[in-house]
Amino acid sequence: MAALGAQAKVFTEEHRLTYYECDRTGRATLATLIDIAILGSQDQSDALGLTTDFVQQHGVGWVVTQYAINVTRMPRLDEVVTIAVRGSAYNPYFAFREFWIRDANGEELAYITSIWVTMSQTTRKIVKINPELVAPYHSEATKRIPRLPRPISFETTADTISKPYQVRFFDIDPNRHVNNAHYFDWLLDTLPAEFLLQHDLKHVDVRYENEVKYGHTVTAEVNILPTSDAEQVTTSHRIRLGDEKCCEVTIQWQMLATPIN
Q: Does 10 bind its own copies (CB under 8 A)?
A: no
Q: Does 172 bind its own copies (CB under 8 A)?
A: yes
Name the residue nearer to its own copies (CB basis): 179 or 234. 179
- For the purposes of burial, counting CB atoms within 10 Å of the CB of 192, is it exposed (0-12), middle (13-18) or buried (19 or more)? exposed
**Which of 10, 63, 64, 77 is the binder for its own copies (CB under 8 A)?**
77
Give least dist CB 160 to its own copies, A: 18
Strands of 103-243, DSSP E: 108-120, 126-127, 140-141, 161-166, 199-208, 217-224, 232-241
- For the purposes of burial, counting CB atoms within 10 Å of the CB of 216, is it exposed (0-12), middle (13-18) or buried (19 or more)? middle
**Which of 103, 185, 200, 211 is the binder for its own copies (CB under 8 A)?**
185
Is residue 116 within 8 A of residue 97, CB to CB? The reply is: yes
Name the residue nearer to its own copies (CB basis): 109 or 188. 188
Can you list the alpha helix ranges (DSSP code H) found in 190-251?
193-198
Q: Does 213 bind its own copies (CB under 8 A)?
A: no
Stretch that binds its own copies, among 16-24, 58-66, 79-87, 105-113 (CB under 8 A): 16-24
Residue 136's SS3 state is: helix
**Which of 8, 31, 68, 101 is the binder for its own copies (CB under 8 A)?**
31
Q: Does 70 bind its own copies (CB under 8 A)?
A: no
Q: Which helix (H) or strand (E) holds 56?
A: helix 52-57
The amino acid that residue 56 corresponds to is: Q
Q: Does 142 bind its own copies (CB under 8 A)?
A: no
Q: Which residues bind its own copies (CB under 8 A)?
A: 18-20, 22-26, 29, 31, 35, 38-39, 42, 77, 163, 166, 168-170, 172-176, 179, 181, 185, 188-189, 191, 193, 196, 214
